[in-house]
Structure 1
Amino acid sequence: MLYRPRLLHPFPLGFLLFIASWLGLAEPARATHIVGGEMELVHNSGDSYTLLLNLYFDAYNGSPSALDADLTASIFDKATNARMMNVLLPLTSNTFVSYTNPACAKPTLSTRKLVYSKAITLPAGTYNGPQGYYAAVERCCRNNSISNIVDPGGAAQTFYLEFPSVVRRGQTFYDSTPRIFPPLADYACRDELFYYDFGGQDADKDSLVYELVTPLNGHSNATTPKPASASPGPYSTITWQPPAPALPGQPALPPLGTLNQIPGTPTLQINRFTGRLTVRPSNLGLFVFGVSCSEYRRGEKIGESRRDFQLMVLNCPTNTKPSMVLLPAAASNVPYRPGRDTLHLVPGSNHCVRLRFTDPDPNSRLSLSLSPVNFSGLLPAFTTATSGAVRSPGQPDTLTATLCFPDCINTRGRVFLLDVVVGDDGCSLPKRDTVRVAFTSVPPPNSPPTLTTTAGPGLPLHVRVGDLVTFNLTGTDPDNDPIQLEMTGQGFNPASLGATLTQAPAGNQQQGRFSWRVDCRAVGPDSVLVFQFAAATSPCTERQAAIISVPVVVRYANTPPVLTASPLFPLPASPGVLPVVRLPLGATFTTALAGADADRDGLTLTATSENFALAEAGMSFTAQNGTGVAAGTFRWDVSCDAVVLHRPLDVTFRLVDATCRPVPQAQTVRFEVIRPESPELKLYNIITPNGDRVNDEFRLPELPLNFCDEQFASVRIFSRWGQQLFESHDREFRWPGEGSGSLYYYLVTYTDGRSFKGWLEVKP
């Protein structure tokens, strides 16, 4: 009979935490709730990781007060057991663990998966210990009803994970620990074979090895079920229940231990390389067991994950496994003999077989599936229904199906093995019958495609920048297989050069059109570009192609343009010295510039300065650019605007040709304003104001002349005691003296900050 599932209505996490708070549970109470769990460390990027704890919680017997909102993980140095840090892991996910067959669900067997996670940082300067590190979380207590350990209600759990240093042999070392496949919610049936895939997957493609281990107990207990942090290792293990006394006349039962965790024939075992669990349990009860998953990279162990879990063993209704026969011949009832017969599939032969499958149990629903053993790729396909019920009212006792092998399977002389499996829907796990089919297959013969082009026969093609290159391609397949035209380049991507290949079917052919407007992207160090074209088919998923190469020589040459000026700029006396144009204030300089290019490239003529804008210095430039020729006019109206800039007036005239590899022509000219000649500076210091008209007044006629922003500002005369006696802003000032003879001082200033000072003696 089948067990009908009962729908469970889990309380929301927030509600459970509210109830715990309302009951005044300030400290976590002793609770029998832990089913098992494991830890993971996931590398994000750089030194960023995520630490996770997957805790499996008994949703039927577990106390809501034991559903923790957070747990603390501790990380230790494996070599010294020194504590590196504590990590508070908040609860981030709360889901139910699914049954393999939901119809077999037991309302008293319900498990939650609680995920606690936190992003952490593992700096290379800190986590570089040669022996690596381990993380641990300690929590009490386990389920009271566990059958194979002593005092299960007081037994604790230590979740344990080893991971490598983030620096190994001086190099950065990244690793994500294995992720073990989803836990089981299923139960086992006494005296029936139980199997489950406990294998994992590794993001780094490291090798994984599985072993049975004794579950860890650690340091927590019923008095302190949730320590503030984990203690360092080593961690004590649980205590196995001693075997019951043997009945009179019966042999003594073997003691429980790491290799005999669940009594049975066989006892609990795990495949070292696949992680597949198997056991045929002989006792009823709830059994805890432990599995380690070791992680190897290049033959060296770098980490270890441990999972503790529980398996419930129940009495189940008798379930007889289904049976199946395979009939290889269409009109024959002679069954296929596994291990003795081999199907030989050749072109033109029958590629289909018939299947008959049944189950002696009433009301069984059967399903077919395929599992390749020693090959991958194409699989046979069922052409009829793959499932159905037998021995139910109105249903037949035997079902039939047709399985057909594709013509394209090619075993290349090997014998491929395929498992055809029929499974029922019995509890707790389906029972199965397997027919292993050995077969060889030869695909139908096939001729390769052909490819022609109108690009020849004069290869290589010779082109210049600006040319349009076009030609046609035609792909043909003798077997009328679908054809695809492809375009590649030797050492380059044709699309990056602007080349295109369009195609469309034309009858039993594939027509293509190549088009390429040659531009500067094709000009490079290699003068020959080799385009490759293929007509490709994939009969039976095996690529066949005809290939044609079309070499193209891109010719390119460039004559530098010529820049002239009229009138010419005065050439300097020494090489490397700029030509200089010198003019006085009020003058005007005009020159006409011309550019010419023998290649008829587009020309651009400019006049620029790095130190100033031309208009700031009274300069202007206009240009008429064109193809092969360019003209420009430069004008300079000399004014004080050019002087007050106080910087070199260097103007660069540049002629650039618009081509793939331009060769600009440039000439830099320095422009200077001619300063007026100033008399030699003379400072007088004696006057004789006696009326003889000789040296009667103090004057300074040889002061520097006014020039643009260098203007005479003032003259001031002082007595020997510092009293100002005279001031004038006129450069032609005259001072006749003051009273009788004495000594005076004067100060002359200019607007550009210059000053002249001296003393003056007045003699009567």
Structure 2
Amino acid sequence: MLLFWGSWLGFGKTAQATHIVGGEMELVHNTGESYTLLLNLYFDAVNGNVSVLDADLTASIFEKSTNNRMTNVVLPLSSNTFVNYTNPACAQPTLSTRKLVYSKLITLTADTYNSPQGYYVAVERCCRNYSISNIVAPNNAAQTFYLEFPAVVRGGKPFYDSTPRIFPALADYACRNELFYYDFGGQDADGDSLVYDLVTPLNGHANATVPKPAAADAAPYALIKWNPGLSTLNQIPGAPTLEIGRNSGRLTVRPTSLGLFVFGVRCAEYRRGEKIGESRRDFQLMVLNCAVNTKPSLKLLPAPASPTTYRPGRDTLHFVPGGNRCVRLRFTDPDPNSRLTLSLTPVNFSGLLPTFTSVSSGAVRTAGAPDTLTATLCFPECMNSRGRVFLLDVVVGDDGCSLPKRDTVRVAFTAVPPGNTPPTIAATAGPALPLRVRVGDLVAFDVTGTDLDYDPVQLEMTGLGFSPGALGATLAQGTAGNQQRGRFTWRVDCRAVGPDSVFTFRFAAATSPCSTRDVATISVPVVVSYANHAPVLASSLPVPKGAEIPLLVLPLGRQYTATFTGTDADRDGLTLTASGTSNEGKEGFDLAAAGMRFQAFNGTGAANGTFSWDVSCAAANLHRELTVTFQLVDATCKPLPQVQRVRLQVKSPDSLAVKLYNVITPNRDGQNDEFRLPDLPPNFCDAQFASIRIFSRWGQQVFESQDREFRWPGQGNGGLYYYFVSYTDGRRYRGWLEVIR
């Protein structure tokens, strides 16, 4: 049998292709609005001229409701391969097929492709294989490759669809007066239902004069013309003629005439009972005279020593626990040099299948080969027909041409799996439950799962509303005989402290005899107790008055020492720390930079520390006031820190009020002859006298000095002057001065 669908392709120039044997189109959804449009073409590689293959073909997309052209898509050639025979040994030198794939990524936008009636795509090309036997004037007959697809949006929501991919390409031929069969059932990526029927192939508008139109015309498309006596339902002379299963897509025909025959198949796709698209394909079937191939034969013997042959339709095999579950098969073929192969096809069930425990294929009637082969077919113990009668086709096929001849024995059987005792589970956590533990305790016990049937047991651990692994709990396990033994361990830590202190661990012993899960469970509740008393921090710091932080003002050169003691009734680990803040706690400072030291001795249930401060300019230069915070923290799940604070300040020597003088009488009488400021604040650490500047009433500077012991005797005539005094810490003093002469 030769099945082709394809197109004539030309790389250098457009030529009239007389060896197109069929083709079909596909539309594949990628993601979002991206699709791939494909045209698969099948070409006679024996009689066709590959030098004039088309480098590209043009597909046209139309709106179904109006036949308006949406766009033309140029499809470049992307693949050129040969189609394989079902049985390569049956190859004929006159039959060879190329598969040519043209494809292009396209975008179907929702605002454009939203017509409720959908769209169709067409490619037109001439001409068909001139040796076709069942149509009029085949050398002038063209092909229209046709595909329908739905709108990409429905009800305002995306509607995605990939058209069906149906029946694989074949390079086989049919034998006259022999039954030809092939499963052309398709696949649909979206799970849509597929329905098949035979249709008359489309001819379209291309012809021998214009074999490759620049673009396809809109529908309708003319049909090919059948030879007298043939029609859509009688496309190939035969007894029976060509048929296709409506739901299965299985093609059958027993051709009665030699020749090359074209035929058409349509595959419609349905979603929720509504047709949303269709694919059409043209094929060619070549019918040849073949050597006689006799069908092989198969017999089934239901018992190891039984001479009785199984009688399909009358006998039923019953497989029960403990009984024999194997049958013998004898298969042969009267033809010499036949190679036979056994296969199984379930009819009314799915799941487990029997297996061949001895040879399932071999040659007969060759040199050194037997006339009859034997095999053993064993049904699994776990097979369970659940009171129904299962049907299984046991098929023997030969390697004859063009397709294997087969003999089938349909076996009816019932199967009961062996009985099963559920597993049991036990734990050594008891007898008193719930278990009561504290943070830091180690919880450990054994869990054992047992199965009397010696089915493999697996121990499983879960938590009621929590993950045991997240709490650090583990279950290590191993196998011993018909038991699975596990060791549960859990070091209780702070992860178990929360609003719910009860943790229920569930353990399961699971078996899966015959893929049926059996489970035995046990629960172990654990109550976690947690209580914490606040630690106590005592010190030699001044006692605060109310909420106020005590203030210590100390002069330069003084050394201050404070001691601290921490205790904890729960004997938790204690840690004493000290940190510095200033500017009302908004900024931090390093204790050492301020001449301060804190030494702590931390421990379990007790801690002590010593704070010392060498009062110097190091602290005075930082800020006017420094706050040191002392904190005692208990090492537990929910600490209750204890805090004490003290404010520290370096005493400044400028305790007197600043006096600013404003009159001098430079008349050389020894009284108030010079301007001086002896009562300015004294120099203190980084607060040093910087300068004084004196200005006339007109803004002219008349005097400047960096000596805090300056003397100014006045200048020129008397009058009013202004002065500015600056310190290195940013302080400024200003005033006026009257000179009286």
Q: Which residue of 1 aligns with 2:441?
A: 467
CA offsets 1:658-698 (integer angstroms, 9 cap, x no match): 33344444556665666665766666554321123444223
Gaps of 5+ in 2: 3-8
Aligned to 1:105: 91
Q: C-alpha displacement at 1:727, in angstroms?
A: 1.4
Pairwise CA distance, 1:422: 1.1
Deviation at 1:347, TM superposition (A): 3.3
CA distance in structure 2 between the partners assigned to 1:368 and 1:308 by the alignment:
33
What residue in structure 1 maps to residue 601 of structure 2? 624
Change (3 A) 1:720 1:665: closer
- CA drift of 1:703 comes to 5.3
Task: Give me the whole-angstrom Cα distance separating, in 2, the residues matched to 1:81 and 1:439.
Answer: 57
Partner Cα separation in structure 1 for residue 238 and residue 249 of structure 2: 19
Given that residues 561 and 595 in structure 1 are in contact (C-alpha distance below 8 angstroms), is that contact kept between their aligned partners in structure 2?
no
In structure 1, what is the Cα distance between the partners aligned to 2:197 and 2:549?
Answer: 85
Equivalent position SS for 1:531? strand
**In 2, distance between residues paired with 1:506 and 1:96?**
58
Aligned to 2:224: 241
Q: Select between 454-463 and 717-726 the one with higher mean Cα deviation.
A: 717-726
SS at match of 1:199: coil
Asked whether the equivalents of residues 192 and 269 of structure 2 are also in contact (C-alpha less than 8 Å), the reply is: no
2:588 aligned counterpart, secondary structure: coil
Residue 611 (structure 1) aligned with residue 587 (structure 2): yes
Aligned to 1:58: 43
Match of 2:602, SS state, is strand
Q: Which moved more, 1:639-648 or 1:729-738?
A: 639-648
Comparing 741-750 and 330-339, the one that deviates more:
741-750
Paired residue total? 722
Deviates more, 1:629-638 or 1:641-650: 641-650
Aligned partner letter, 2:231: P
**1:158–1:640: structure 2 CA closer, same or farther, 3 Å change rule?**
farther
Per-residue CA deviation, residues 518-575 of structure 1 (Å, 9 max, x unaligned), is 3333444443333333444444443444x2414232322131432524123653645x
Counterparts of 1:212 and 1:676 in 2: how far apart (Å)?
A: 114
Partner of 2:142: 155
Does residue 381 in structure 1 map to residue 355 in structure 2?
yes
8 Å contact from structure 1 (residues 35, 142) kept in 2: no
Task: Tell me which moved more, 623-632 or 506-515.
Answer: 506-515
Once the two structures are superposed, what CA deviation does each residue of 1:496-526 show, in whole Å capped at 9, x if it has no partner? 4333334444455444433333333344444
Match of 1:195 among 166, 171, 181: 181
What pairs up with 1:319-330 in 2 under 5 angstroms?
319-330=293-304
Corresponding residue of 1:38: 25
The answer to whether residue 529 in structure 2 is matched with residue 552 in structure 1 is no
Change (3 A) 1:676 1:235: farther
Maintained 8 Å contact 1:697/1:736: yes
The 1:750–1:371 alpha-carbon spacing in structure 2 relative to 1, beyond 3 Å, is: same
1:738 matched to which residue of 2?
715
Residue number in structure 2 paired with 1:490 = 464
Q: Which residue of 2 aligns with 1:13?
A: none
What does residue range 675-686 of structure 1 map to in structure 2 within 5 Å? Answer: 677=654, 686=663
How far apart are 1:626 and its partner, in Å? Answer: 2.5
Closer, same or farther: CA 663–437 of 1 in aligned 2, 3 Å: farther
- Inter-CA distance 445–226: structure 2 relative to 1 (3 Å threshold): same
- Write the letter of the residue equivalent to 1:549: I
Residue 694 of structure 2 is aligned with which of 717, 726, 745? 717
Query: What residue is the counterpart of 1:689 in the other structure?
Result: 666
Q: CA deviation at 1:369?
A: 0.7
Q: How does 1:288-437 map to 2 (within 5 A)?
A: 289-294=264-269, 296=271, 304=277, 306=279, 308-317=281-290, 318-437=292-411
Structure 2 contact 438–530 (Cα < 8 Å) conserved:
no
Distance 2:120 2:621 in 1: 75
**TM-superposed deviation, 1:763:** 3.0
Deviation at 1:419, TM superposition (A): 0.9
Question: Residues 379, 151 of structure 1: CA spacing in aligned structure 2 closer, same or farther, 3 A cutoff?
Answer: closer
Task: Give the distance between the partners of 2:716 and 2:613, measured in 1 at CA.
Answer: 55
Query: Partner of 2:250 in structure 1?
Result: 276
Indicate if the aligned counterparts of 1:34 and 1:55 stay in contact, CA closer than 8 A. no
Code of the residue aligned with 2:575 in structure 1: it is T
* Distance across 1 between alignment mates of 2:247 and 2:455: 43
Q: Which moved more, 1:687-696 or 1:190-199?
A: 190-199
Partner of 1:737: helix, strand, or coil? coil
Kept after mapping to 1: 8 A contact 2:200/2:224: no
Cα distance in structure 2, aligned partners of 1:209 and 1:694: 128
Cα separation, 2, equivalents of 1:663 and 1:315? 97
Q: Is the 8 A contact 1:559 1:597 kept in 2?
A: no
Going from structure 1 to structure 2, the CA distance change for 1:741 and 1:407 (only over 3 Å counts) comes to closer
> Which of 388, 402, 419 does residue 445 from structure 1 map onto?
419
Asked whether the equivalents of residues 194 and 280 of structure 1 are also in contact (C-alpha less than 8 Å), the reply is: yes
Find the counterpart in structure 1 of residue 6 from structure 2.
Answer: none
RMSD: 4.4
- SS of the equivalent of 1:103 reads helix
Render the CA deviation track for 1:206-239: whole Å, top value 9, x for unaligned.
Answer: 5445555666777888858485xx77x95554x3
Measure how far apart 1:398 and its partner are.
3.3
2:502 and 2:449 map into 1 onto residues whose CA distance is 25
Mark the CA change 1:578 to 1:254 in structure 2 (over 3 Å): closer, same or farther: farther
- Aligned mates of 1:53, 1:692 — CA distance in 2: 120
Q: 1:564 aligned to 2:537?
A: yes
Distance of aligned partners of 1:648 and 1:686 in 2 relative to their CA distance in 1, 3 Å threshold: closer
> 1:338: Cα distance to partner?
1.8
Deviates more, 1:485-494 or 1:362-371: 485-494
How far is the alpha carbon of 1:262 from its aligned partner? 5.4
Measured after TM superposition, the shift of residue 701 of structure 1 is 4.9
Name the SS of the counterpart of 1:521 in structure 2: helix
Task: State the shift of 1:474 in Å.
Answer: 4.2
- Give the 3 Å change call, closer, same or farther, for CA 86–751 of structure 1 in structure 2: farther
CA distance in 2, matches of 1:88, 1:649: 82
Contact 2:535–2:640, Cα closer than 8 Å, also in 1: no
> What's the counterpart of residue 11 of structure 1?
none
Whether contact under 8 Å (2:81, 2:99) holds in the other structure is: yes
Equivalents in 2 of 1:73, 1:594: separation in Å?
91
Aligned equivalents of 2:76, 2:596: Cα separation in 1: 73
Question: Which stretch of the first structure deviates more once superposed, 733-742 or 80-89?
Answer: 80-89
Taking a change above 3 Å as real, the CA distance of residues 244 and 176 of structure 1, as seen in their structure-2 partners, is: closer
Q: Give the direction of change, closer, same or farther, for the CA distance of 1:448–1:755 in structure 2 (3 Å limit).
A: closer
Q: Aligned partner of 1:551: which letter?
A: V
1:421, distance to aligned residue in structure 2 (A)? 0.9
Q: Displacement, 1:370? A: 0.9
Residues 223 and 505 of structure 1, relative CA distance in 2, 3 Å threshold = same
Deviation string 1:106-125 (CA, Å, 9 cap, x unpaired) is: 4444444555667777788x
Deviation of the 1:415 alpha carbon:
0.8
Output the CA distance in 2 between the equivalents of 1:708 and 1:135.
Answer: 94
Shift of 1:72: 7.5
Q: Does 1:657 align with 2:634?
A: yes
TM-score normalised per structure 1: 0.79
CA distance in 2, matches of 1:579, 1:121: 78
- What amino acid is aligned across from residue 55 of structure 1 in structure 2? N
Which is further off, 561-570 or 673-682? 673-682
Contact 1:144 1:153 in 2 (8 A): no
Alpha-carbon distance between aligned partners in 2 of 1:74 and 1:709, rounded to the nearest angstrom: 90
Residue 255 in 1 paired to residue 231 in 2?
Answer: yes
Distance in 1 (alpha carbons) for counterparts of 2:68 and 2:614? 84
